């Protein structure tokens, strides 16, 4: 495997909060086009890892290489424009706005915009608005929420809000999608829908996915390779079959799951 087939290379990442070591010298690679899961018990450092990749946290040590750039040195607001989008463990949406407006807002916040030009109704700004709208409508169709696109997000049931959050991330047209427990708290049917969307995003849109998830059946089904964290340390890394049979992983995590 040549180095340039890796979209993301995490090397030696160390993140401390006071006396707590959230991540200790963690390293792994994400291949272009794969679904890469991160699993492990609560407090293992999974969310912290995503926060380091998305620039929300700065590790004290280590590198995160993405397309030749060290993300630990890139301003967090620039990271989205490099093609990296994420969802949050606790849903973060504008609850007073509609689905459509949440997705449009994502494009306006993260994409190039010129507020002076956008005051002129005709011209490039309006063409840009139409283009944004077409992309957002396509995502809404894809996620099968066209019939409720004008609904206020705060009034939606939890499973649908998680789906809208995925839509918001997709509105950035990411190359790399970071999903923090996208199926947590869902019923079986909602989980299966979400798994289908993630697989479609991956297969049809060619998006590389890093997925944190606790449902081991689903993780082992849909991911190509799995990283296992425990107390901030990587204790396993391999295909789902490798991981299922790894004694250290079974002892630390799978045995109790």
Min dist CB 26 to ligand ADP, Å, is 11
Choose between 22 and 198: whose C-beta lies nearer to ligand ADP: 22
Report in angstroms the alpha-carbon separations of 20 from 14, 47, 84, 114, 220.
11, 15, 27, 43, 30
Strand, helix or coil for residue 7: strand
Min dist CB 38 to ligand ADP, Å, is 8
Pick one of Mg ion, ligand ADP, none as the site partner of residue 22 (Cβ within 5 to 8 A by kind).
ligand ADP
Cα–Cα distance measured from residue 130 to residue 45, given in angstroms and rounded to the nearest whole number = 41
Pick one of ligand ADP, Mg ion, none as the site partner of residue 62 (Cβ within 5 to 8 A by kind).
none
The footprint of Mg ion (CB under 5 A) covers: 46-47, 89
**DSSP H helices in 24-117:** 46-53, 76-79, 99-110
Choose between 45 and 55: whose C-beta lies nearer to ligand ADP: 45
Cα–Cα distance measured from residue 247 to residue 192, given in angstroms and rounded to the nearest whole number = 29
Min dist CB 20 to ligand ADP, Å, is 5
Choose between 47 and 72: whose C-beta lies nearer to Mg ion: 47
Binding mask 139-158 for ligand ADP (x = CB under 6 A): --------------------
Min dist CB 105 to ligand ADP, Å, is 25
User: In the range 15-74, which residues lie near ligand ADP by CB under 6 A?
Assistant: 17, 20, 22, 40, 42-48
Cα–Cα distance measured from residue 173 to residue 148, given in angstroms and rounded to the nearest whole number = 22
Min dist CB 46 to ligand ADP, Å, is 3
**Residue 10 CB-density burial (10 A; 0-12 exposed, 13-18 middle, 19+ buried):** buried
**DSSP H helices in 17-97:** 46-53, 76-79
- CA 61: distance to chain centroid? 23
Q: Which residues bind ligand ADP (CB under 6 A)?
A: 17, 20, 22, 40, 42-48
């Amino acid at each position: 495997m040549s180095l340039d087939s890796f979209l993301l290379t995490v090397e030696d990442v160390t993140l401390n909060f006071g006396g707590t070591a959230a991540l200790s010298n963690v390293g792994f690679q994400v291949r272009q086009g794969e679904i890469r899961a991160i699993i492990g018990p609560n407090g293992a450092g999974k969310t912290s890892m995503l926060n380091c990749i998305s620039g929300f946290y700065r590790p004290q040590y280590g590198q995160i290489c993405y397309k030749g750039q060290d993300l630990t040195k890139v301003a967090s607001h620039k990271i989205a424009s490099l093609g990296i989008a994420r969802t949050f463990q606790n849903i973060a949406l504008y609850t007073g706005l509609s689905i459509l407006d949440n997705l449009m807002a994502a494009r306006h916040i993260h994409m190039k915009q010129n507020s002076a030009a956008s005051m002129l109704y005709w011209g490039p700004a309006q063409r840009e608005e139409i283009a944004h709208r077409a992309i957002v409508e396509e995502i809404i169709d894809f996620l099968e929420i066209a019939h409720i696109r004008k609904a206020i997000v705060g009034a939606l049931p939890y499973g649908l809000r998680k789906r809208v959050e995925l839509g918001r991330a997709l509105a950035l047209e990411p190359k790399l999608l970071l999903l923090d427990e996208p199926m947590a708290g869902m019923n079986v049917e909602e989980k299966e829908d979400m798994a289908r969307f993630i697989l479609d995003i991956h297969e049809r849109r060619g998006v590389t996915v890093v997925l944190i998830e606790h449902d081991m059946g689903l993780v082992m089904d849909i991911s190509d390779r799995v990283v296992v964290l425990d107390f901030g340390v990587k204790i396993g890394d391999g295909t789902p079959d490798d991981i299922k049979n790894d004694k250290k992983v079974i002892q630390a995590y799978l045995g109790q799951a």
